[in-house]
Structure 1
């Protein structure tokens, strides 16, 4: 009796393997899974104004670092695309500041730089090849930022929630 019940399952498995080998995808429209089957699309984003009066919140990814890291709380935004964007500042031990506008794609554990600060002309310089990159194990700062800004590794509801989480973690 078990053979009769197992036979249809084996037949379905063989057919799906044959379709997979041919490179075809069998899509079953009988179930609604949501928007996960749509490819991710980044929304348009314009660089913010160069910060004049920022609300710097310190982030401490590693106590052994000689550099200090900050995020401008006023610049935090959460896009409909699930990306948390912010202005970041790195302050070296000899008081040199480096600013950047970055985004963290919470769901896929990626980051991207949108612009780098030109403190002399008070403007942003866009990167030549703006690519999404994986947040690697050695990137302690972005790993810490993802943990703080992306609760449960998903985008927060809004910028206020992201700022609250950032302040709580710092």
Structure 2
């Protein structure tokens, strides 16, 4: 029994160490790298097939809930628009998030999507609430979810949006953000 526990701990340590390799998310491609994660990623990540995207009307977004996640330097506050949440037939959770600097300054609004199946996200557009318009992204690039980077809210949101590769229903996600959460709380662990 001790040998199995020791082997499990050793493997977990190796995987954790491989995640801290000196790569940035933009230059990591599956199969690249000489670390342990490169060994396990032997083919390019799947690009999710998407439906036609409906951009939310910025003027109608009224329900904002704080997003809390672990980060070393907390220069910003993050708010999820609960009335922007959608889940299409493509099983991608789409949402609007606002990033507001604690020191003041302009609020950044982003329209993004998370694919629970492939553990990836992408930014569709940046919002200008004063003009009620979206500046659409010119790059259709899916990126791996991460929790250990500066401003990595997408990785944290995936904990709330996804369950074992599938998205939670939108109403369940909305409800989760309206409940006062405690440390270590998880959506699937709550009493019904």
The normalised TM-score by structure 1 is 0.69
CA separation of 1:97 and 1:40: change in aligned 2, threshold 3 A: closer
Residue in structure 2 matching 1:160, options 138, 150, 171: 171
**Aligned match of 1:85:** 94
Aligned-CA RMSD value: 2.1
User: Gaps (5+ residues) in structure 1?
Assistant: 1-38
Q: Distance in 1 between matches of 2:100 and 2:128?
A: 15
Asked whether the 8 Å contact 1:71–1:86 carries over to 2, the reply is yes
Secondary structure in 2 matching 1:51: helix
Q: CA deviation at 1:93?
A: 1.2
Q: CA deviation at 1:166?
A: 3.2
Residue 59 (1) aligns with residue 67 (2): yes
> 1 or 2 for the larger relative contact order (CA 8 Å, sep ≥6)?
1
Aligned length: 131
Q: Distance in 2 between matches of 1:155 and 1:97?
A: 28
Q: CA deviation at 1:81?
A: 1.2
* Higher mean displacement: 137-146 or 93-102: 137-146
Asked whether the 8 Å contact 1:147–1:153 carries over to 2, the reply is no
User: Gaps (5+ residues) in structure 2?
Assistant: 1-46, 182-192
**Aligned match of 2:80:** 71
Q: CA deviation at 1:154?
A: 1.4
Q: CA deviation at 1:138?
A: 2.9
